[in-house]
Structure 1
Amino acid sequence: MYDVVLLTLGSGRDAPGGGCGSGGACCGGTDEAAAAQPAERCETPRVPVLACADALTARDARVETVTAHSDAEIDEVLARLDGPTRPDGLTWPDPDSKTRLVVATATDGQLRAVLRRLVRRYAPPPSRRPADLPDNRTVPDLPPIGVLPLDPARNGTARDLAAQLGLPRDPTAVADAVLDGTVRRLDLLRNDGSSVTLDGALLGAADDAGRPLHWRARVEVDGRILSHGEDPIMACVIGNAGGYARLDDVTLLADPDPTDGEVEVAVAVPVVTRSVLGRRRVRLEVRRARGRAVAVVPRDEKVPFLDDGVEGELNRKRSWWTEPGAWAVWTA
């Protein structure tokens, strides 16, 4: 018999974010996802959460639904996944845990908020790196998560991470996957801003008419330079999965794969050419590279970005690196 915690990120009077998404979907009020949350409040569990809880209970699982209004409340849930005390004193996940976690998500940013807290909980400090940690990782195998999309009716049209990964969206199917399914391990991007990326980051912005604004930055992937900092960049994508693979009708990422142990990076730069008749033409050149890590050094004061759908501004060097197979989902 399994203990299953159904975790929803909720709004609250003291939470630094809003409550309800489009269609009434309860959204998170945690630090990581706050920027993506609308301001309307909603405390009643969504129908998919209740349906999943009923399906789990019907399978004899002991179910608890938790709405977390802060990072501290997320941490209280994640502590249930801890393993036995280690001789080195590190907090480590229990690979044989009988507690399973389902995260109800209205946005990818909410799922990222939970993964960010998992990384903060289980990543050992560099000075205490244990011998049983893989050489290409800074975190152990994180506990697998069941993902419950709060808009299951969007199946077939959604472009969220659950849809990209082909995860079940129906609450009963999610319950079955958590109890009887298999674990699919996925790459995780960490960055030196103390956050994580599950899908990808899109750097750049557009004006009010939708035209891309040019900006400049040095972009380097494992020593390969995609831009030295002088080119007018229209967009830069740092991809783990394929959510930002295309921008309008332009293919940026050629073959994003969240299981290949690499980050794929693309930089779109306008290039001026002239025809044989001397006419000036502008074509878009997409430069791509794959590797373990990418560094972006902005030359402009601020570069807007979306990271797993959460808005931000880049005003200093930022590096992302791959943690192969670090996190996992329950799938059918």
Structure 2
Amino acid sequence: MSAHDQLLVVIDPVARRSDGESVRIAKDVLCGGSEAKICLPEGPEEFARALARRGSRRPVVIGDDRALLRAVALLHRDRSLGDGALALVPVGPSAAVELAHSLGVPRGAVAAARAVLDGAVRRLDLLVDESDGVVLGNLSIPAARAAPAANGVSVWDTCRSLVRTLVHPPPPALVVRTHRLRVEADGVLLTDLDRVVEAVTVRAGDGRAEVVVRHGAHADPVMARALTVTVSGADFRYRADAMVTGPVRTRTWTLRAGAWGLTLPAVGVAGGG
């Protein structure tokens, strides 16, 4: 059996609790088509140890976007992210696996597991900050509100929520919070502290970071493509994929083209960058 067929399957504990049936299906497909070693970590430390001891096996994560982010961050900090490819079988509520699907990972345990076995590696860009934080998809400042978690919500929880809403109607729409931020892209000043900023978004594009600065509904957005983006100003929080970080006063993100590999369905993937 080739090294490609030797897998280390790390099953995130959140996935096991939230959708054990999808986890079982994915595990059966993977074990039926490869020599798979199954790891069932109970927490972040065991998750990290499992990845560190993978040897020559291809790492496969069964879990949601947070599990994927954890795996990429660990491999990046070990300076082994570029050595091979990572694979993912997304398991969790729709809101918790949006990043995985946006990267091209199939929906459904069977389709995703088959892509692990039969797919091809696509090299993807990565945003890395000076504290070794990583961004796979979108970065937003200020941090956008996360969708409420759907795990463990019962009918009674839904009823109680409805009653509270009827007795205490929600408040009017909140005023958009603004910041005064200095934003530089490859050393070029996009906005400074003398202007109010409504939102800054950064996304790894085709070999460059795509930066958009919004000053409000009546002003055109300022856009740029760059290899480095620096944001500074008063304390601000930012959302990087599924994680909120801060407050910080300055942060620089550097784009690393093709820094990591993700196994995706083979059709239209070979040669992608």
Structure-2-length-normalised TM-score: 0.77
- The equivalent of 1:283 in structure 2 is 218
Cα offset, 1:266, TM superposition: 0.8
Identity of aligned residues (%): 29
Q: Cα distance 1:315–1:122, how it changes in 2: closer, same or farther (>3 A)?
A: closer
| Long gaps (5+) in structure 2 | 146-170, 266-273
Q: Cα distance 1:45–1:203, how it changes in 2: closer, same or farther (>3 A)?
A: same
Displacement over 6 Å in runs of 4+: none
Could you tell me whether the CA contact under 8 Å between 1:81 and 1:143 is conserved in 2?
Answer: no
Q: CA RMSD in A?
A: 2.6
Which structure's relative contact order is higher, taking Cα pairs within 8 Å and 6+ residues apart?
A: 2
Cα displacement string for residues 124-178 of structure 1 (whole angstroms, at most 9, x for unaligned residues): xxxxxxxxxxxxxxxx6242111111148x5xx9871222122222222222222
- The equivalent of 2:75 in structure 1 is 118
SS at match of 2:224: strand
Cα displacement string for residues 104-125 of structure 1 (whole angstroms, at most 9, x for unaligned residues): 232x2331111111011126xx
1:180 matches 2:118:
yes
| Letter paired with 1:261 | G
| Letter paired with 1:236 | V
| Letter paired with 1:307 | A
| Letter paired with 2:71 | V
SS at match of 1:216: strand
CA distance in 1, matches of 2:201, 2:144: 15
CA distance in 1, matches of 2:121, 2:70: 20
CA distance in 1, matches of 2:128, 2:143: 23
Q: Cα distance 1:115–1:73, how it changes in 2: closer, same or farther (>3 A)?
A: same
- The equivalent of 2:24 in structure 1 is 50
- Decide which moves more: 56-65 or 313-322: 56-65
CA distance in 1, matches of 2:215, 2:32: 55
SS at match of 2:106: coil
- The equivalent of 1:160 in structure 2 is 98
- The equivalent of 1:92 in structure 2 is none
Cα displacement string for residues 263-291 of structure 1 (whole angstroms, at most 9, x for unaligned residues): 11111013xxxxxxxxxxx6032101111
Cα displacement string for residues 306-326 of structure 1 (whole angstroms, at most 9, x for unaligned residues): 111212223221000011111
Q: Counting helix residues as a fraction of each chain, which structure ranks higher? A: 2
Q: Cα distance 1:237–1:60, how it changes in 2: closer, same or farther (>3 A)?
A: closer
Could you tell me whether the CA contact under 8 Å between 1:264 and 1:290 is conserved in 2?
Answer: yes
CA distance in 1, matches of 2:85, 2:144: 37
| Letter paired with 2:222 | R
1:100 matches 2:58:
yes
Q: Cα distance 1:56–1:223, how it changes in 2: closer, same or farther (>3 A)?
A: same
CA distance in 2, matches of 1:60, 1:148: 15
CA distance in 1, matches of 2:122, 2:67: 20
- The equivalent of 2:108 in structure 1 is 170
CA distance in 2, matches of 1:178, 1:143: 13
Cα offset, 1:81, TM superposition: 4.2
Alignment counterpart, residue 47 of structure 2, candidates 74, 92, 104:
74
CA distance in 1, matches of 2:96, 2:129: 27
1:268 matches 2:206:
no
Alignment counterpart, residue 145 of structure 1, candidates 71, 83, 86:
86
| Long gaps (5+) in structure 1 | 11-18, 20-24, 27-41, 83-96, 124-139, 241-256, 271-281
- The equivalent of 1:311 in structure 2 is 244
Could you tell me whether the CA contact under 8 Å between 1:8 and 1:68 is conserved in 2?
Answer: no
- The equivalent of 2:164 in structure 1 is none
Structure 2 counterparts to residues 231-310 of structure 1, below 5 A: 231-240=195-204, 257=205, 260-270=206-216, 283-298=218-233, 300=234, 302-310=235-243
| Letter paired with 1:312 | T
CA distance in 2, matches of 1:216, 1:146: 40
